[in-house]
Amino acid sequence: MNDLLRSKKRILVTGGAGFIGGALIRTLLLRSNNYIYNLDKMGYASDLTQIEEVFLEAPHLKDRYSFYKVDLSNNALLSECITQIDPDIIFHLAAESHVDRSILDPRIFLNSNILGTFNLLESARKHWEKLSDNRKDSFRFHHISTDEVFGALGENGTFSELTPYSPRSPYSASKASSDHLVNAWHHTYGLPVLITNCSNNFGPWQFPEKLIPVAIAKALDSAPIPMYGNGSNIRDWLFVEDHIEALMLVISNGKVGSSYCIGGYGQKSNYEVLELICKKLDIIRPLKFPHNELITSVKDRPGHDFRYAIDATLITNELGWMPKFSFEEALSTTVDWYVQNTCWLKNHQESIKND
C-alpha cells in the first residue's frame, strides 16, 4: 500500500496500551513487516489485551514486538530506551485524555502531556541528530493530538488546520501546549514532525469512561445512562479504524512540518448517540421497557464545549483519505463488540471503581 507497510523500520509507539495506540500497533503488526516498540507507563486506562489477542492468532508476530514500561516524565529512563530502541519513526500518542479528570486534577495532565512531550522531543532530537544522513532524511516524529485544542464552535462552522488555538479545559490546554512544543522543535531544531488533530474516537476496546462505552455498559446493567445537561452538545465522531488509516497515510506521505485535521463526518449530539445505542440494544438485548428510558440528565461539565466539527478537506485532497465507515455502521459494530465482550467491560468498570 505504501512505503511504510513495505519497509522494515523500527517504529516506536508511545501510549501503545491505550485505545488508539493499541489499534495502531495491531495494524502495524498485521499489515507491515516493521519492528514495533510499545512504550507505555501502564496507567489506570492502559490495557494490552487487544495487542495480545493478535498473538493468540499469529504467535510469530511476537518476534517483531517489544514492550517497555516507561513514564515519559522519567527523562533518564526514556532517553535510555530511545537509545536502545533506535527508532526510525515515533508515533506519540501517550497522553492523559479524560476531560473530567483534568478538571479534578490538572497537574497530572501538565506532567504527562506537556512535560512528557518535552522529554520525548528532546530524546528524539538527540537521537535524530546522531543518525546517518539517509536515516535522518526518512525519520519522522508523528504527534497525535485532538480537535479540542481549537476550542468550541457555535451552530455553524468547522475546525481546520488554519483555526486558531483556543483550548477551554485543562486537558485541551495541555494538548495545545504539546502541539506548540512539537511545532517549535521542528522550526527551531529541524526535527521532521507531523501533527494530526482528530475528532472524538470510538470503537471496540475503548476504556469505559468515555461516552459511548459508558452508555453501553450502563445500559447492559439496566442502570441509569448519564447524559450531561440536555444532551445537545455535538461531537464529530470518528471510528478508530478510520483514524488508523489516516495515521498510516500521514506518516507515509504527509508533508513534514504539516498538520492534518481528521474528522469522521459524523456530527451527532450526545442525545442522538445515546438514542442510537438504545435502539440497537432494544433489538439485540431487549428489556421490558425501551432502553432510552434509562437516559438520565446529570449536572453539566464545567466549561462544556458546545460543538466540535472538522473540515478534513486537506487530508482528503492531499493524501486521498476519507472515512470508510458511516457513524451508524461503526456504532452498530461497536455495540456488538461490547455485548460480546462483557467480561472485559466489567473488569475495566471495576478498575475505575478501584482507581
Q: What is the pLDDT of residue 215?
A: 97
Q: At residue 6, does pLDDT exceed 80? A: no
Range of the domain at 122: 3-206+240-265+304-325
Instruction: Write the CATH number for 259.
Output: 3.40.50.720
Q: What's the pLDDT score for residue 98?
A: 85
Residue 200 falls inside a structural domain:
yes
Does residue 20 lie in a domain region? yes
Residue closest to 151 by CA, chosen among 315, 308, 329 = 308
Q: Look-up: residue for cell 526535527? A: 191
Radius of gyration of the chain (CA): 20
In terms of phi and psi (left: phi > 0; alpha: psi -120 to 50; beta: otherwise), the region of 111 is alpha
Residue 197 covered by a domain: yes
Residue 114 located in a structural domain = yes
Q: What is the pLDDT of residue 112?
A: 95
Judge whether 305 counts as a catalytic residue.
no
Strand order in the sheet with 140-146: 65-69, 35-40, 10-14, 89-92, 140-146, 193-198, 259-262
C-alpha cell at 142: 508523528
Q: Count how many domains the chain has.
A: 1
How far apart are the C-alpha atoms of 195 and 134, rounded to whole Å? 23
- Give residue 151's Cα distance to chain centre: 18
pLDDT tens profile 226-250: 999 999 999 999 999 999 999 999 9
Q: What is the pLDDT of residue 239?
A: 98
pLDDT tens-digit map of 276-324: 999 999 999 999 999 999 999 999 888 788 999 999 999 999 999 999 9
* Contact (CB, 8 A) for 73 and 119: yes
pLDDT band at 36 (very low <50, low <70, confident <90, very high): very high
- Residue 212 is assigned to a structural domain of this protein: no
Stronger pLDDT, 354 or 73, i.e. the higher one: 73
Residue 321: the pLDDT is 98
pLDDT at 351: 60
Mean pLDDT over 202-222 rounds to: 96
Supply the pLDDT for residue 353: 58
Q: Is residue 120 part of a domain?
A: yes
pLDDT at 305: 86
Position 174 in a domain: yes
- Summary mean pLDDT of the chain: 95
Q: Where are the beta strands (DSSP E) in 219-283?
A: 225-228, 234-239, 259-262, 267-269
CA pseudo-torsion sign 54, 55, 60, 66: positive
Kindly give, in sequence order, each residue whose CB lies less than 8 Å from that of residue 73, ignoring residues fewer than 6 positions away. 111, 112, 115, 116, 119
Q: Which of 148, 209, 241, 242 is catalytic?
A: 148
What's the CA gap between 15 and 17, in Å, rounded?
A: 5
Do 45 and 209 touch, CB atoms closer than 8 A? yes
More confident residue, 5 or 260: 260
Mean pLDDT of 256-269: 96
Is there a domain that residue 213 lies in?
no
Res 2: pLDDT: 62
Catalytic residue among 71, 88, 147, 245: 147
Q: Is 37 annotated in the active site?
A: no
Of the pLDDT bands very low, low, confident and very high (cuts 50, 70, 90), residue 355 is low
Encode pLDDT of 159-177 as tens digits: 999 999 999 999 999 999 9
Report the pLDDT value the prediction gives residue 8, as an integer from 0 to 100: 83
Of the candidates 37, 65, 68, 171, the residue annotated as catalytic is 171
Give percent above pLDDT 90 in the chain. 91
More confident position, 3 or 197:
197
Q: Is 165 a catalytic residue?
A: no
C-alpha cell at 288: 421490558
